[in-house]
Amino acid sequence: MRPLGVSLIAGLTWFLGALWALAALSVIGFSQLGARLFSTMSEGRLLQRITAGMGTTVGILLLLVAVIYAVVGLGLWNLKSWARMATIFFVALGLVLGLRNLIEYHHVLRLLWTVVDVAIVVYLLMPDVKKAFV
């Protein structure tokens, strides 16, 4: 049986994946809009192609991040050991990278997110939770 905490972490992972997908589609859409605006302002097509190409590239990379979140969330839901290890790795990486923002800016939401990240890592390292994963 899947522990409740793992279900919540999987749900959070899917939610974050959906946010990344929304961001990706927004970047792609706005870059295409910007490219069309550039084409009406100037006669050259170079700026239009660069703007559309860069936006599409960044959007595709963000979609890749969204897919990774979705796959890891599915792995957590199905209690796969690789998903547990991937979650621990990515959350710990986020903690390390987020420490600078926490120290420098003292933002309340960053502090709350850090507490959630620490709780996720500690929870996934608990022996009873570790045993639940295949």
Q: Enter the pTM of the model.
A: 0.85
pLDDT of residue 53: 84
Question: What tens digit of pLDDT does each residue of 7-29 get?
Answer: 999 999 999 999 999 999 999 98
More confident residue, 83 or 103: 83
Q: With helix as H, strand as E and coil as C, how does the chain read?
A: CCCHHHHHHHHHHHHHHHHHHHHHHHHHHHHHHHHHHHHHHCCCCHHHHHHHHHHHHHHHHHHHHHHHHHHHHHHHHCCCHHHHHHHHHHHHHHHHHHHHHHHHHCCHHHHHHHHHHHHHHHHHHCHHHHHHCC
Whether the pLDDT of residue 57 is over 70: the answer is yes
